[in-house]
């Protein structure tokens, strides 16, 4: 069975998107733990900040594959989230480590609600994207056979 680069892109996107779904679930659970005072903000930020850049890199990786594979619609669906990630990282608080979450202001009610809402929206986006990538993979595999 021979498949195109577009099919390979969709297969990689499915696998990577599964990891991104787990990242989003971990973020939601972490912010819920902060909201209920189950964990302290320093430990929570130390566990969340190392996941920010890998999440962004994985998201950009399979979108580059969509770009090279000529999957323009899939790429256009992801451009707003990529732009949001770039803007979010560009306007992050000044910190000595890479990441988005500062332990000194993460417990603010507004910041905590915003981060939790962001996690739920990303989870919904990644879940919908997962099923779209599954559809795209099937269509591209059928088209090449």
For 21-63, the DSSP string reads: HHHHHHHHHHHHHHHTTSS-HHHHHHHHHHHHHHHHHHHHHHH
Q: Look at the chain and report how many structural domains it folds into.
A: 1
User: Is the confidence at residue 104, as pLDDT, over 90?
Assistant: no
CB atoms within 10 A of CB 129: 22
* Helix (H) / strand (E) containing 110: helix 109-144
Residue with tokens 């577009």: 6
- At residue 79 the predicted structure's pLDDT band, cuts being 50, 70 and 90, is very high
Q: Which domain holds residue 74?
A: 5-144
Return the pLDDT at 121: 97
- At residue 74 the predicted structure's pLDDT band, cuts being 50, 70 and 90, is very high
- At residue 1 the predicted structure's pLDDT band, cuts being 50, 70 and 90, is low
d(CA 136, CA 91): 34
Average pLDDT, the chain: 92
How big is the chain by its Cα radius of gyration, in Å? Answer: 17
**Two tokens, residue 102:** 């500062």
């Amino acid at each position: 069975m021979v498949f195109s680069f577009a099919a390979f892109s969709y297969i990689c996107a499915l696998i990577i998107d599964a990891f991104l779904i787990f990242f989003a679930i971990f973020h939601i659970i972490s912010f819920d733990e902060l909201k209920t005072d189950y964990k302290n903000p320093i430990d929570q930020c130390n566990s969340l900040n190392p996941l920010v850049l890998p999440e962004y890199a994985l998201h950009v990786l399979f979108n580059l594959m969509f770009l090279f594979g000529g999957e323009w619609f899939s790429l256009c669906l992801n451009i707003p989230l990529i732009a949001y990630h770039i803007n979010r990282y560009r306007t992050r608080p000044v910190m000595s480590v890479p990441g988005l979450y500062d332990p000194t202001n993460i417990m603010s009610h507004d910041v905590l609600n915003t981060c939790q809402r962001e996690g739920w929206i990303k989870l919904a986006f990644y879940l919908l994207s997962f099923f779209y990538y599954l559809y795209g993979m099937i269509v591209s595999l059928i088209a090449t056979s």
